[in-house]
Amino acid sequence: MSHTAGALAVFEAALDEKTTRHSVDRLDHLNLERRRTVKLHFEELVESVGENIPAGLVVYRETSPNGVAGLLASKCVEKYSVPSIVLVPSTTPGLVVGSGRSMPGIALVEHLRPFSRLFVRFGRHAQAVGLTMALEHIRVFQDAFAGSFAPGSRVDGRSVNAQAKLCLSTVGCHFHDQLLMLEPFKVGNPAPVFSIGLTEVVSARNRWVRVRQQRHSIEVLSWDAAVDQGMKGDCLVEFYGKTRILRGFTPRKA
């Protein structure tokens, strides 16, 4: 929204009440402007994307400012539960810059390495990336990125262990309210993983799986767990905000 010096000015003016108030009011104004801008551009983005969401989303926003690309990518992850990259025009003609956000279990910066020939530069870490590429490569990148998240695609390889056992009969509004108190989930504060025993896969379509435990069931996002309808066993589910991610499934022996 503006230069980062505006935030620094608040601290520099700490001993001057009038100057401090002016700096804080300016930051508050910029924050409100940022929220309005993100809301407007995300509504336009959702309309342009439509309903057929690929397993890996790349969106080019010609009219969006560079400063909100990362925020838009984060909101895409929240809404669509897929790794998302938002591209915007660069100040250099013919180039675009972008920010990407990932899902738990998918090291996004590593996932982009096979496409490095398309980029001028890219980097950062597992859950968030920045990149620069030629405008003419966007379409190729969109198709390749979406296709790279087919069932069985590579994840970050970290071992996953359950923090507790969970009965689906206890999963309700109060349960989710308690989980919200643990956010934000990130490195150092990972999302909780629960073991759910004696389950049955009642449906498996695309990357979505519904598992049932007695009379109760939940829908989970599955990136790499090999499950089919009718399978019975114990599963590991990661509760990442409103998204539940299947992190493992152990079939029961007949």
3-state secondary structure of 182: coil
135-164 pLDDT per residue, tens: 999 999 999 998 887 544 444 445 578 889
| Strand order, beta sheet including 95-101 | 57-60, 84-89, 95-101, 128-134, 119-124
Q: How many C-beta atoms surround the C-beta of residue 180 within 10 A?
A: 9
Q: How many C-beta atoms surround the C-beta of residue 117 within 10 A?
A: 6
3-state secondary structure of 60: strand
pTM over 0.85: no
CA torsion sign for 16, 17, 18, 22 is: positive
27-56 pLDDT per residue, tens: 777 778 888 888 999 999 999 998 888 889
Ordered structural domains, the chain, with CATH: 5-147 (3.10.310.30), 164-251 (2.40.50)
